[in-house]
Amino acid sequence: MIRGIRGATTADGDNEKDILLSTESLLKEMILHNDLKAENVASVFISATRDITSVFPAKALRRFKEWKYVPVMCMQELEVPHGLPLCIRVMIHYNTSTPQSDIQHIYMKNAISLRPDLKKV
């Protein structure tokens, strides 16, 4: 069965270093807390708010050698009033028998405010 594993974080600024550092940290936590193996990942969607323009956050995933063949796509998050600025969201589609209630969704930095009920890190 394919399960969705959610995560979100914020970057400290719209520059390549901050965006990739925040995205890489989020991905590492998602992988660690869910014991993910690249060969079981169907795809990864990464969205970013409109104020992130310096780099594709997906570039951070390409730093993980074993994830070379995982399909990944970046997209722009919806712009809504009072939305969280400099926000990066990740959805990993993962083949697993883990019950949905045991999936560890990861929210970091200012993105904890999006789902405080799921706070893990």
Of 120, 112, 113, the residue nearest 29 (C-alpha): 120
Active site residue 94: no
Catalytic-labelled residue, pool 16, 62, 63, 66: 62
Active site residue 107: yes
Task: Please give the model's pTM, rounded to 2 decimal places.
Answer: 0.94
Predicted local distance difference test score (pLDDT) of residue 4:
98
Confirm or reject CATH 3.30.1330.40 for domain 2-115, answering yes or no: yes
Active site residue 74: yes
Q: Give dist(CA 40, CA 74) in Å, integer.
A: 20
Active site residue 62: yes
Catalytic-labelled residue, pool 29, 87, 89, 94: 89
- Reduced to 3 states (helix: H, G, I; strand: E, B; else coil), residue 43 is strand
Q: Give domain limits for the chain.
A: 2-115
Q: Are strands 41-48 and 72-76 parallel, antiparallel or unpaired?
A: parallel
* Residues 26-53: tens digit of each pLDDT: 999 999 999 999 999 999 999 999 999 9
